[in-house]
Amino acid sequence: MKLQLFNTKLVGMDYKQLSGRDFPRFSGIKTFFRMPFVPVDSDYEVGIVGIPYDGGVSYRPGARFGPSKVRDLSSLGRGYHWSRDVNIIDKIKIADIGDCPTVPIDQQKTYDRIKDYFEHLLSLDKKFIAIGGDHSVTLPLLRAAHKKYGKLRLIHFDAHLDTYPAAWGCEYHHGTFVRHAVEEGLILPEKSIQIGIRGPLTGESDLQFVNQHKILVTTVDDVRANLNSFLNALPDFGDDPVYISFDIDCLDPAYAPGTGTPVPGGLTTYETQKILRALKVNHLVGADIVEVSPPYDSSDITALAAMDTLFELLCLMGLSKKT
Ligand code: MN
Ligand code: MN
């Protein structure tokens, strides 16, 4: 066997993972999923991008450190999906394209930079998976995706509805992106779904928005009552452009303690794996994983769950038939 002595994979353009059998998993420069770090205009197909911003949180901060911690836990990333029987690294060109520029003390400037960055990325006909960051970053991501693809169907994993009103006189925070996406006409609410939702809520009025706009809200009870029935009843998204937003707090705090606003009684990592594998989506145009807050994490369990979700999303995106 020829030993790989030089780390050519990181500077090459062959879009292969840094091999754990040539380079121990604790070695090397940390990149998302051990993929090469390349400029935004390189010839990859799916770019993984960090968005280190947490200026929209209402309780515990720290999600600005999410991207670097998910890169760290990417040491354990592997390409072959057992139940799908596919090695996603061989199937599509995946790259770490670095972090989107942000402004830690200015939300509006951050939103503008995110929108500009992702509009540019999408103009190059790339797909992306963004690693946040708090959940407020999804709104500018949807604005950019809407500009390219029109109205999107949203698949939203979360403990929270994220349709909440302004707080402290501020219209934009990490609990409002769904409301703004509907009000700005970015998504088709009656063709979108929320998964993992649970209470308590501030009041009954919190449900008015989703009811009025006919968003399909599914709770942990719906998932837990009978997982297979839940999976079989998931909508078929066909060829419609779909965006997936995965708030890590859809998971129970036992599986994801390192997050800004944890809610007990959540999904297990196994359940979210099963749901992501069961989704019938042919045209996944973009996705994000948000609300990973490493300072509140324990044994990196939350960042590990995020890295595993990243793998499931890469497979779902890579196996999307439509480009
Ligand atoms: Mn959220
Ligand atoms: Mn949430």
pLDDT in tens, 220-263: 999 999 999 999 999 999 999 999 999 999 999 999 999 999 99
The number of domains in the chain is 1
Query: Of 99 and 9, which is predicted with more confidence?
Result: 99
For residue 290, tell me if it sits in a domain. yes
CB-CB neighbours of 264 under 10 Å = 9
Q: What percent of the chain has pLDDT over 90?
A: 93
Does residue 10 surpass a pLDDT of 50?
A: no
CA of 317 to the centre of ligand 2 (A): 23
Does residue 305 surpass a pLDDT of 70?
A: yes
For residue 24, tell me if it sits in a domain. no
CA of 167 to the centre of ligand 2 (A): 16
Answer positive or negative: Cα dihedral of 300, 304, 305, 309.
positive
SS3 category, 125: coil
Q: Which ligand is nearest to the CA of 134?
A: 1
**Of 51, 42, 70, which is closest to residue 126 (Cα–Cα)?**
42
pLDDT in tens, 166-218: 999 999 999 999 999 999 999 999 999 999 999 999 989 999 999 999 999 99
Q: Which ligand is nearest to the CA of 174?
A: 1
Does residue 12 surpass a pLDDT of 50?
A: no
CA of 12 to the centre of ligand 1 (A): 37
Q: Tell me the whole-structure pTM to 2 decimals.
A: 0.96
Does residue 1 surpass a pLDDT of 90?
A: no
CA of 226 to the centre of ligand 1 (A): 25
Q: Alpha helices, DSSP H only, in 79-176? A: 88-91, 107-123, 138-149
Whole domain around residue 307: which residue ranges?
32-318
- Looking at residue 14, its pLDDT comes to 86
Q: Which ligand is nearest to the CA of 137?
A: 1
CA of 163 to the centre of ligand 1 (A): 9
Structure-token pair, residue 2 = 């020829």
- Looking at residue 6, its pLDDT comes to 53
CB 305 within 8 A of CB 256: yes
Q: What is the mean pLDDT of the chain?
A: 95
CA of 248 to the centre of ligand 2 (A): 7
**Of 53, 118, 69, which is closest to residue 310 (Cα–Cα)?**
69
Q: What is the CATH number of the domain that holds 153?
A: 3.40.800.10
Helix (H) or strand (E) holding 169: none
- Looking at residue 44, its pLDDT comes to 95
For residue 260, tell me if it sits in a domain. yes
Query: Of 4 and 112, which is predicted with more confidence?
Result: 112
For residue 150, tell me if it sits in a domain. yes
For residue 91, tell me if it sits in a domain. yes
For residue 1, tell me if it sits in a domain. no
CA of 300 to the centre of ligand 2 (A): 19
Q: Per the omega criterion (within 30 degrees of 0), is the bond before 264 cis?
A: no
pLDDT in tens, 34-45: 999 999 999 999
Does residue 11 surpass a pLDDT of 50?
A: no
- Looking at residue 242, its pLDDT comes to 98
Q: Per the omega criterion (within 30 degrees of 0), is the bond before 140 cis?
A: no
CB 95 within 8 A of CB 47: yes
CA of 3 to the centre of ligand 2 (A): 46
Q: What is the average per-residue pLDDT within 22-30?
A: 94
For residue 36, tell me if it sits in a domain. yes
- Looking at residue 4, its pLDDT comes to 52
Per-residue pLDDT band for 320 (boundaries 50, 70, 90) equals confident
The alpha carbons of the chain give a radius of gyration, in whole angstroms, of 19
CA of 248 to the centre of ligand 1 (A): 8
For residue 16, tell me if it sits in a domain. no
